[in-house]
Amino acid sequence: MTEEIIIAGFGGQGVLSMGKILAYSGVMEDKEVLWMPSYGPEQRGGTANVTVIVSDERISSPIISKFDTAIVLNQQSLDKFESSVKPGGLLIYDPNGITHEPTRKDINIYKIPATEKAQEMGISKVFNMVVLGGFLKLKPIVGSEFIHKGLEKSLPERHHNLIPQNEQAIELGKGLIEPVQVL
Amino acid sequence: MAKELKLMKGNEAIARAMIASGTDGYFGYPITPQSEVMETLMAEKPWETTGMVVLQAESELASINMVYGGAATGKKVATSSSSPGISLMCEGLTYLAGAEIPCVVMNAMRGGPGLGTIQPAQSDYFQSTKGGGHGDYQLYVMAPASVQEMYDFVFDAWDIAFKYRNPVLILTDGAIGQCMEKCYTRDYVPRWTDEERKEKAPWGTWGKPANRERNIITSLELESSRQEVFNQKLQKKYAQMKEEDVRYEMLNCEDADYVFVAYGTSSRICMKSMQIAREKGLKVGLLRPITLYPFPTKQVAELAKRVKGMLCVEMSAGQMVEDVKLASNCQIPIEHYGRFGGIIPTPEEVLEAMEQKIIK
């Protein structure tokens, strides 16, 4: 199993930390992982993206142009990464602020109204975990017990009291994701 | 700290390995994309645990000369920087090599020339392996390709630095420095006691006992005949490195018709290109030099006798390719493919280059 993922959105949406929690969960399950952020000027322009690879084998390139899954959290990221999903791959987006829907016919597309739901429930801070939950529902590449350990490892100890809230958000996301186009 | 499995950045791995490997001091000046080295050291406060000194100097010139001063006493002293900062350090590096002082330096290469960009590049190969500073000197140059190697190579670098009394350069780039991978940390190696240091570095300026002349650390020798003898000694040392401490990795080379030659980040990209090629039925292998100096010359020469062509992939306009051509004596087609200025090639475009330039 090798899963190559790009997660992209605005800075502040928790894109990098979502990737980190997923990667750390992979480490806890003794898988090979890679977390490669964009850094530098493009990051300072307000968009953030991170490549996460989780695999049973030694990971080759940290730089890849085709992904099994793209998780996009704003229009810019959708425009940029829709074409980078491998044929038959998976595109997940949050419809919040999306004005042009994805158009590819050869990939699976799901949407998750995470921004809206998280705002409604007053849990905007764990919005990214809602999205992660949606992804894990479709591709359970790491077991939930390892997600728990991943949260423990990625969050500083003073925030460990927030782990249950994060896990609830993940569960919420699992119920929230809905198909747009399934091959 | 004991053995542990962690997810960490390459830069963080360098810093943690410095602490764990019994490094006595680090002097540095911040520069992207390696500032996390000093950030991690400052956050870890090793001066409270192992007693390691960490100091932000006023410039790279100051850093490397602080390294010179500290390391002259036989202590394990390190620094790190990125391309423009390393250029500033080159004077210090030739003095360190000329005075035969062991130290560890890390360069996280970024696109040049000049201040250039902060994105990853591999365009300091010439600077690292052919000089940088003046004079007939060599650094021992290691090119890690993963976060785990970033960590492990710091330990190896200390062994080599003291074995040869020579500076060791860990040559990496922003991609390996900034990415996070899993990393097994090691049990701490205690810093040397004064007694141990005197034994391991009898040449150091740690005080003059009654039973020997004073030790002098210098790279100055105005008598040419003595300078020549000294240079011959250096050359002998470099020859020994070539004999005993060349490191490389070969993947799928046993049955390969065509081989990528690449180090560091490029080698990771080539691994992927190789996998795609194998799926297409092309017998492609990868030779990854781990030491850039001493270069795996024999291995390239031996491969050149049984493969049909090699593509040297570098994030530069073509630097290591010269060593590959020399080593193979140009018996087979050898081409270069590179992106530069901070652009990282994709595995697909690298394979396409292999198909167009070599396989045809």
Residues of chain B with CATH 3.40.50.970: 4-196
Report residue B105 as tokens: 């330096």
Nearest CA in chain B to A19: B180
* Averaged pLDDT of chain B: 96
CA B322/CA B216 separation, integer angstroms: 38
Whether residues A36 and B179 touch (CB distance < 8 A) is answered with: yes
Among B3-7, B148-152, B291-295, where is mean pLDDT lowest? B3-7
Give tens-digit pLDDT for A15-64.
Answer: 999 999 999 999 999 999 999 998 655 555 577 899 999 999 999 999 99
Whether residues A60 and B182 touch (CB distance < 8 A) is answered with: no
Confidence (pTM): 0.95
- For CA atoms A104, A105, A106, A112, the dihedral sign is positive
Mutate to test the interface with B, among A30, A60, A149 (most CBs of B within 10 A): A60
Whether the predicted pLDDT of A67 surpasses 90: yes
Give the pLDDT score at A125.
87
Report the Cα–Cα distance between both ends of chain B, in Å, rounded. 53
Whether the predicted pLDDT of B198 surpasses 90: yes
Instruction: Report DSSP letters for B61-98, one per residue.
Output: HHHHHHHHHHHTTT--EEEEE-HHHHHHHHHHHHHHHH
* Averaged pLDDT of chain A: 92
Q: How confident is residue B320, by pLDDT bands cut at 50, 70 and 90?
A: very high
Nearest CA in chain A to B176: A62
Question: Distances from the Cα of A152 to the Cαs of A167, B40, B69, in angstroms?
Answer: 11, 20, 43
Contact B354, B277 (CB under 8 A): yes
CA B304/CA B306 separation, integer angstroms: 6
Give the pLDDT score at A10.
86
Give the pLDDT score at B202.
95
Task: State the nearest Cα–Cα gap between B275 and chain A, in angstroms.
Answer: 9
**Which strands make up the sheet holding B258-261, listed edge to edge?**
B248-251, B284-289, B258-261, B309-314, B334-338
Contact B139, B166 (CB under 8 A): yes
Contact B307, B259 (CB under 8 A): yes
Question: Is ipTM over 0.95?
Answer: no
- For residues B334-358, average pLDDT: 96
Q: Domain of A143: which CATH number?
A: 3.40.920.10
Q: How confident is residue B261, by pLDDT bands cut at 50, 70 and 90?
A: very high
- For residues B54-83, average pLDDT: 98
Q: How confident is residue A144, by pLDDT bands cut at 50, 70 and 90?
A: confident
CA B101/CA B76 separation, integer angstroms: 10
Task: State the nearest Cα–Cα gap between B237 and chain A, in angstroms.
Answer: 35
Whether residues A27 and B7 touch (CB distance < 8 A) is answered with: yes
Contact B13, B147 (CB under 8 A): yes
Whether residues A64 and B179 touch (CB distance < 8 A) is answered with: no
Chain B residues within 8 A of A155 when measuring between CB atoms: none
Q: Which residues span the domain enclosing A10?
A: 2-181
Measure CB to CB from residue A62 to each of B32, B265, B348 and give the nearest one: B265
- For residues B104-119, average pLDDT: 95
CA A72/CA A60 separation, integer angstroms: 24
Q: What percent of chain A has pLDDT over 70?
A: 96
- For residues B227-243, average pLDDT: 98
Strands (E), B234-295: 248-251, 258-261, 284-289, 291-293
Give tens-digit pLDDT for A71-106.
Answer: 999 999 999 999 999 999 999 999 998 999 999 999
Domain made up of B249-359: CATH architecture: 3-Layer(aba) Sandwich (3.40)
Q: How confident is residue A11, by pLDDT bands cut at 50, 70 and 90?
A: confident
CA B293/CA B143 separation, integer angstroms: 10
Give the pLDDT score at B12.
97
Q: Which residues contact A41 (CB under 8 A, 6 or more apart)?
A: B118
Give the pLDDT score at B183.
96
- CA B321, chain centre distance (Å): 18
Contact A130, A173 (CB under 8 A): yes
Give the pLDDT score at B280.
96
Measure CB to CB from residue B179 to each of A35, A60, A66 and give the nearest one: A35
Among A9-23, A52-66, A129-143, where is mean pLDDT lowest? A9-23
Give the pLDDT score at A43.
53
CATH classification for the domain delimited by B4-196, as one of 3.30.420.40, 3.40.50.970, 3.10.105.10, 2.30.130.10: 3.40.50.970
Q: How confident is residue A12, by pLDDT bands cut at 50, 70 and 90?
A: confident
Give the pLDDT score at B2.
58
Among A121-125, A163-167, B174-178, where is mean pLDDT lowest? A121-125
Residues of chain B with CATH 3.40.50.920: 249-359
Our count of domains for chain A comes to 1
Chain B residues within 8 A of A64 when measuring between CB atoms: 272, 346-347
Q: Give bridge partners of residue B261 from the DSSP assignment.
A: B287, B312
Q: What percent of chain B has pLDDT over 70?
A: 99
Chain A residues within 8 A of B273 when measuring between CB atoms: 61
Task: State the nearest Cα–Cα gap between B211 and chain A, in angstroms.
Answer: 55
CA B233/CA B40 separation, integer angstroms: 39
